[in-house]
């Protein structure tokens, strides 16, 4: 039997009055769970600063609180859904957000399971996360015995993990917002058991009864008895293994390493930690507050998934919500007395003012990502995205005819083609393309110029394969098939890496008068 001694568990309690008050409330079955805006602002709960009107709208959307939405909320939601132009700048929320909410409420959800909050710098993402996390903590406390409710072993602690690239970031930003929200909330004071820079533990009423039972026997375990725990962890942390989590927050997830070696990639981190939510069922929460970065990695993948449609036009993942707002987006209408119901805000944390206009003019590409919250095509782009768009515009051929670019299913015998394949590790994308050149009409100086026209391209994404492992035999078959359709392909080349996988077999399959190298 392990040694049982008295320790600081009893001393951490905030006095005997708090102890007995929790015990009495648990016996009476008292459950005080207001709507999330009341919880954030009311003096009896978080006693937080007044929320900006659009912050309220955002929180009500996240928590599916259509019954508490005002006419203003609905007007803002309509503006946001119409503002999400999938072919241009994206500002708003998923266009089918209300249909998603209706589905979730009909299927027993209390909130979106996965919230991807893409907001520009200083847009209050961490503050919203602090309120969401505190609300989830409070809901657990009000269950009295959350382990019993979720059929989890009574000795098992329940975690909210704040994940970041390194421990300093993990402690200083999203976790700090969460911890400060809880520590400053009057409603949490009787429940706080331990608070450190990277760790915050709360006692449930069931925990209090367990302590009382030990004390009745003049015993006390050496471990801290406080089963609702909030912890800052790094992307390399193994803390989530074996843990039961009620929420996971990925701080600035788009900026987490997305490479192939060394530290864990964003995909690896996500896949390692989210299974900890399984025992919470529909009550588990994943919150991804991040400013955008490049269209690489798990954050962008989640962003796309949150808007994906199935073949019938319905959301592929209806339990996901995406919000994409500029830095000032959550604060708009802050100075409208009608919207604020007479409350006067001293100022707005972010505004699209003269300073912002100047920043946009000086560094438009940086401004578009950092402030307008639009995804960058690549890091330190060699080609400006606008120039890339121009590449897909119609062009004038040698006969002076305007040609629209479109993918070709097979080649022409009058054209000589070249192709290339860029193989990769089996858990990364592999890409291939076939193209040709066309002469541009003579310029004024008499020089000859050529268009490079890409006729066919394909990407094999590991996410479309079991266990995220690309099937190289399928790639070989696809390449043989397309090369047989482009019979006048003169050279089809491979990058050195991975060529040994496909090149020998491709030469066996492809026995026409062509060259692969």
DSSP per-residue codes, 167-226: HHHHHHTHHHHHHHHHHT-GGGGGGEEEE-SSEEEE--HHHHHHHHHHHHTT---SS---
Query: Would the CA dihedral through 292, 296, 301, 302 be positive or negative?
Result: negative
Confidence band, pLDDT 50/70/90 cuts, at residue 1: very low
71-123 residue pLDDT tens: 999 999 999 999 886 666 889 998 999 999 999 999 999 999 999 999 999 99
Give the position of tokens 């392990």. 2
Residues making up the chain, counted from first to last:
517
Q: Please give the structure tokens belonging to residue 227.
A: 């089963």
Residues 54, 76 contacting (CB under 8 angstroms): yes
Phi/psi at 475 (nearest 5 deg)? -60, -45
The model carries a pTM of 0.72
Q: What is the pLDDT of residue 501?
A: 52
Instruction: Give residue-wise pLDDT tens across range 202-260.
Output: 999 999 999 998 888 888 778 899 999 999 988 776 666 778 999 999 998 888 754 44
Q: What is the pLDDT of residues 392-439, one digit of tens each?
A: 888 777 777 888 888 998 999 989 999 998 887 656 788 999 999 988
Q: Tell me, what's the pLDDT at 503?
A: 56
Q: Where in the chain is the domain with CATH 3.30.420?
A: 385-516
H or E segment at 503? helix 499-509
Q: What is the DSSP letter of 461?
A: -
CB neighbour class for 510 (10 Å; exposed up to 12, middle 13-18, buried from 19): middle
Partners of 402 in beta bridges: 396
Q: Which pLDDT score, from 0 to 100, does residue 440 have? A: 77
Q: Do the strands 158-164 and 228-234 form a parallel or antiparallel pair, or are they unpaired?
A: parallel
CA 322 vs. chain centroid, Å, equals 8
Q: What is the 3-state secondary structure (H, E, C) of 372-417?
A: CCCCECCCCCCCCHHHHHHHCCCEECCCCCEECCCCCCCCCCCCCE
Please identify which residue in the block is written with the tokens 């989640």. Answer: 302
Task: Give which of 211, 208, 64, 199 is closest to 135, Cα–Cα.
Answer: 64
CATH of domain 9-331: 3.40.50.300
Contact, 351 vs 141, CB < 8 A? no
Alpha-carbon distance 291 to 320, whole Å? 18
- Distance between CA atoms of residues 395 and 21, nearest Å: 77
Beta bridge partners of 164: 234
Rounded to the nearest 5°, which phi and psi values hold at 238? -100, 10
As a whole number of angstroms, the distance between CA 144 and CA 182 comes to 18
Other C-beta atoms closer than 10 Å to the C-beta of 39 total: 23
| pLDDT tens figures, 276-320 | 999 999 999 999 999 998 888 889 999 999 999 999 999 999 999
Tokens of 38: 């009341």
85: number of Cβ within 10 Å: 11
Residue span(s) of the chain under CATH 3.40.50.300 come to 9-331
Domain covering 385-516, topology: Nucleotidyltransferase; domain 5 (3.30.420)
Q: In this predicted model, what pLDDT tens digit does every residue of 153-168 receive, in sequence order?
A: 988 999 999 998 777 8
**Containing H/E element for 114?**
strand 114-119
Using N-to-C axis directions, what is the helix angle for 15-28 and 205-216, rounded to 10°? 110
Where does the pLDDT of residue 445 fall: very low under 50, low under 70, confident under 90, or very high at 90 and above? low
Share of the chain above pLDDT 70, in %: 82
What pLDDT is attached to residue 283?
96
CA-CA-CA-CA torsion sign (273, 249, 318, 323):
negative
**For residue 171, pLDDT beyond 50:** yes
């Amino acid at each position: 039997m392990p040694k049982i001694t008295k320790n600081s568990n009893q001393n951490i309690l905030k006095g005997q009055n708090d102890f007995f008050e929790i015990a009495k409330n648990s016996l009476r079955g008292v459950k005080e769970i207001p709507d999330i805006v009341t919880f954030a602002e009311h003096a009896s709960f978080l006693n937080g600063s007044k929320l900006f009107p659009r912050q309220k709208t955002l929180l009500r959307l996240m928590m599916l609180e259509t019954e508490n939405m005002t006419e203003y909320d609905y007007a803002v939601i309509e503006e946001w859904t119409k503002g999400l132009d999938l072919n241009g700048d994206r500002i708003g929320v998923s266009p089918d957000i209300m249909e998603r909410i209706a589905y979730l409420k009909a299927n027993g959800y209390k909130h979106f399971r996965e919230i991807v909050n893409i907001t520009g710098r200083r847009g209050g993402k961490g503050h919203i996360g602090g309120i969401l996390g505190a609300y989830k903590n409070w809901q657990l406390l009000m269950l009295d015995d959350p382990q019993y409710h979720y059929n989890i072993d009574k000795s098992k602690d329940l975690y909210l993990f704040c994940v970041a690239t390194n421990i300093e970031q993990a402690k200083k930003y999203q976790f700090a917002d969460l911890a400060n929200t809880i520590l400053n909330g009057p409603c949490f004071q009787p429940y706080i058991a331990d608070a450190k820079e990277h760790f915050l533990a709360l006692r449930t009423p069931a925990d209090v009864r367990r302590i009382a039972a030990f004390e009745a026997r003049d015993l006390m375990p050496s471990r801290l008895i406080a089963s609702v725990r909030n912890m800052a962890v790094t992307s390399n942390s193994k803390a989530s293994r074996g843990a039961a989590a009620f929420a996971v927050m990925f701080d600035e997830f788009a900026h987490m390493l997305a490479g192939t070696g060394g530290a864990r990639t964003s995909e690896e981190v996500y896949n390692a930690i989210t299974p900890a939510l399984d025992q919470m069922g529909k009550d588990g929460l994943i919150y991804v507050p991040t400013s955008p970065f490049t269209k690489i990695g798990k954050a962008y993948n989640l962003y796309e998934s949150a808007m994906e449609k199935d073949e019938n036009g319905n959301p592929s993942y209806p339990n996901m919500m995406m919000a994409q707002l500029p830095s000032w987006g959550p604060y708009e209408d802050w100075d409208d007395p009608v919207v604020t119901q007479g409350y006067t805000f001293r100022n707005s944390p972010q505004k699209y003012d003269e300073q912002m206009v100047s920043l946009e003019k000086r560094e438009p590409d940086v401004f578009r990502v950092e402030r307008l919250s639009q995804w960058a095509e690549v890091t330190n782009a060699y080609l400006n995205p606008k120039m890339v768009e121009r590449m897909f515009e119609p062009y004038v051929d040698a006969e002076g005819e305007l040609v629209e670019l479109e993918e070709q299913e097979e080649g022409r015998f009058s054209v000589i083609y070249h192709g290339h394949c860029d193989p990769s590790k089996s858990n990364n994308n592999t890409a291939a393309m076939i193209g040709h050149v066309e002469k541009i009409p003579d310029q004024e100086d008499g020089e000859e110029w050529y268009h490079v026209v890409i006729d066919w391209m394909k990407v094999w994404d590991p996410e479309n394969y079991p266990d995220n492992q690309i099937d190289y035999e399928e790639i070989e078959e696809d390449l043989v098939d397309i090369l047989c359709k482009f019979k006048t392909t003169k050279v089809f080349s491979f990058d050195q890496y991975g060529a040994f996988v496909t090149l020998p077999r491709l030469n066996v399959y492809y026995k026409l008068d062509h060259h692969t190298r």
